[in-house]
Amino acid sequence: MACWIVRQKPCECWSSVAQGEFELIRRYFGTPELNFAHDDVLLGPGDDAAIVSLPVGFQMVMSIDTLNESIHFPTQADPFLLAQRCLLVNLSDLAAMGAQPVAFTLAISLPAPDAHWLAAFSHGLAVVAQAHHCPLIGGDTTRGPLSITIQVHGKVPAGQALLRSGAAVGDAIYVTGDLGDAAAALWWILGDARLNDAALDASARQVLQQAFYQPDARIDAGIALRGLASAALDISDGLASDLQHVLDTSAFKRFGSTQGLGALIKSEDIPLSDTFQRCVPLREQLALALSGGDDYELCVCVPPAQEAAARSAMQALGLRFTRIGHIDDGVGIRLQTSLGEQHPLSLKGYNHFSESL
C-alpha cells in the first residue's frame, strides 16, 4: 500500500474542494497529531510505502477491519465518534493477541469531501491514536459510499501472543468489563421500542454512547495476561458466538476436530452495568448480553494455576474481571440458571450479511 494514494477521478464533487485532493489529505490526515514519531516507525507518510522495524525478539501482529455505513454504523453518525469507533475496534484485536500497538493505515471511501466532516473525523482518529501511541503511517482515499478500512500493526514478544486455540478442560472463563451496553446502545440509536425510555437520562445516554462509539480497547489487559491466559479473543459478534470460536479452534488443535470441548456459563455471573439493567427489560437482558455483540471486551480462558495471578493483574489495572464459567468436555455451550438447570446456549451472533442499521 502506498503511503496515501489518491484515486483521481474527473468528478465535480471531488474537485469542488478548494484545497484539492492532495491538500485535503495533507490537511486532515497528514497532521502531527496523527503522523507523530514512534520508535518502531522508520518512515511514515510521504513515500511509496512506510517502513517499520521491530526490536529483536518481537513479532508483528496485524489485523484489518472494514466498517460500512448502514451496516456497521448508522447513517449520519457523528464523524468524531465514528473515527474513534473505527480505530478502537481494530485496536481491540491487538488487545486480544496481547500485542502493543505500533501504527495503523487507513483506506477511506467518501461520497464527497466534506471539510467539516473530515476535520471531525481526523480529530477523532487523533484522540485514539495518541492515547494508544499508534500513529497513522499511510493510506488510500477514493470516491464511493462511505466505507472505512483500518489496518493496525502491533508487536508482541516472540512466542507470547495470546491465541484462541489454547483452551483446555478445567480452564476458567473470564470476561473484562460489562456485556450488553453496546447492544443496548444500538437499540437506543435505532429507536427500539423495547428500551425503557424512562431510564434514558443524560447519564445513561452517555454510558450507551461510549459503549458503542468509544469501546475500551483492552491493550493493557491483553499485555498483562501474556503467560497467564491459555486462550483469548475480543467479543465482537457476541459472547455466545465468539466463545464457540475458542472451543472450535482449541478442540481442533488438540483433537484434530471441532468436537471435544464445551463450556458451562453461569447466567447469574454475566457482568451487567447498572445502566443496562435499568434500560433493558429483565426478560431481554440475558439474550442481549450474550448475543448482542459489539462489546469489544476480552473473553479469556485461564488455567486454574494462573487464576489468582490473572485476577491480581486485572485488579492492578482497576479492571472488572469476572469469572463466568469454565471449559469442560461437554457438548457446546450450556447456560446454567440460578436454579442449577442447564440449557444449550443459542450461538446466534452478529451476521454481516443479514443485518442493516
Query: Any idea what the CATH number is for the domain that residue 84 is in?
Result: 3.30.1330.10
User: For the chain, what is the mean pLDDT?
Assistant: 91
Share of the chain above pLDDT 90, in %: 83
Asked if 78 and 186 sit in the same domain, the reply is: no
pLDDT bin (cut points 50, 70, 90) of residue 3 is: very low
Asked if 145 and 9 sit in the same domain, the reply is: yes
Asked if 149 and 229 sit in the same domain, the reply is: no
DSSP string, 23-83: HHHHHHHSSTTTS---TTEEE-BTBSS-EE-PPTTEEEEEEEEEEEBTTTB-TT--HHHHH
Q: Is the pLDDT of residue 307 over 50?
A: yes
DSSP classification of residue 350:
-
pLDDT bin (cut points 50, 70, 90) of residue 6 is: very low
Q: Determine the average pLDDT of the residues in 79-84.
A: 98
Which range of residues forms the domain containing residue 221? 172-344
* Tens digit of each residue's pLDDT (9 = 90 or more) over 234-262: 999 999 999 999 999 999 999 999 999 99
* Grid cell in block for residue 143: 470516491
pLDDT value, residue 348: 63
Q: Determine the average pLDDT of the residues in 279-304.
A: 97
The owner of cell 452495568 is 273
Ramachandran class of 82: left when φ > 0, alpha when ψ lies in -120 to 50, beta otherwise: alpha
Query: Reduced to 3 states, what is the DSSP secondary structure of residue 148?
Result: strand
Report pTM: 0.91
pLDDT value, residue 20: 58
Q: Determine the average pLDDT of the residues in 150-175.
A: 98
Q: Is the pLDDT of residue 43 over 90?
A: yes
Number of independent structural domains in the chain: 2
Q: Is the pLDDT of residue 130 over 90?
A: yes
Asked if 76 and 133 sit in the same domain, the reply is: yes
Boundary (domain end) residue, out of 133, 157, 181: 157
The owner of cell 450450556 is 334
Give 114 or 221, the one with higher predicted confidence: 221
Among 13-27, 192-206, 259-273, which is the least confidently predicted range?
A: 13-27
pLDDT bin (cut points 50, 70, 90) of residue 349 is: very low
Which CATH number characterizes residue 321's domain?
3.90.650.10
